[in-house]
Amino acid sequence: MSRPRGWRNQVWEADHVQAPVLVDVEGATRRPWVTWFVDCASNTITGHAVTPVHPSRESVLAALRSAVLREASYGPFGGLPEKVRVDRGKEFLSRTVTAAFDLLDVTVEDLPAYTAHLKGTVEGLNRAVESMFLAALPGYARQPRPGKRPSRPKDEILLGFEDFTARLLDWTRWWNIEHQPAPLRGRTPVEAWWDDPTPLRDVPAADLWTFTLEDAGTRTLTTRGVRFRKRDYVGPWMTGQAGIQARVRFMPHHDHRIEVYHATTGRYLGPADLADQATEEQINAVRRARAARARHLKKDLQASQRERYAAVNQPEAPSGSAP
């Protein structure tokens, strides 16, 4: 017996699926993975992420951001769901991901293992993407039976990872805007979405970024920047801030940048980039900030050296010092 369809953003389902397609990833042949969130009421793919290796919590967080945001490059689907169904995937239940769901006030329904039928919407999508899209790509590698390697033309040219991702995203747009899934009875997912008057809960992009980062604890800002995992990170906003206590948050597997917050107030201070990988533009920005700081200090010093007179509380000749 199927569940009632409900209303948009009442329930999403999430899953990872390994594409049965061989792609070229920097000279290595791999089968990429797709992580996606699907709205059960409208059959819309609200968010997705593609990785060349087995997905991690990073994949879930990236897909979650794209699912929730409704800005031009993400919308119109999204907003916060009331509930997300997963089936015991450790990436979906990691500390960082569950903390993000808690902060966003989203209930996670952890289904028992081997119960794919309990999240039929996303499982149906997994089957559809293979039969309707992946099977026609070069490198399609579905095995006819366990243990037997599929035969492919020896001169077949595989797609690169970027090309594969671009094609998959095009197919996703087609699914959402043009396809008419059987459960929607002649409507497209976008039509089902707009036909539903249920109010949406949106989250500002800056807040969502904060919720989907991992906390690395507090650090002391120094003249070299902030130290994280034995490496220095710098940003132009750090000039003149040495000595303050800051909290570092980061995106798993992305070590080129961290986000820094005031340890006491929680106020966002700014991004910091890995010092030994900073671009020329980033280096110049730090230099300009330090030069501006030096000019301000010089001006303050000159002001402090101007003619000064002592305060008096009775009639007497002025006394003081002159520069």
- pLDDT (tens, 9 = 90+) of the chain, 323 residues, equals 456 779 999 999 999 999 999 999 999 999 999 999 999 999 999 999 999 999 988 889 889 988 998 987 777 999 999 999 998 788 888 888 888 899 899 999 988 766 666 788 999 999 999 999 999 999 998 755 555 655 666 778 999 999 999 999 999 999 999 999 999 999 999 999 999 999 999 988 777 777 777 889 999 999 889 999 999 999 889 988 889 999 998 876 677 889 999 999 989 899 898 887 756 776 666 677 667 656 765 665 565 555 455 555 555 555 555 44
Q: pTM score, two decimals? A: 0.71
**Residues across the chain:** 323
The CATH homologous superfamily of the domain defined by 11-197: Ribonuclease H-like superfamily/Ribonuclease H (3.30.420.10)
Could you tell me the residue ranges of all domains in the chain?
11-197, 213-304
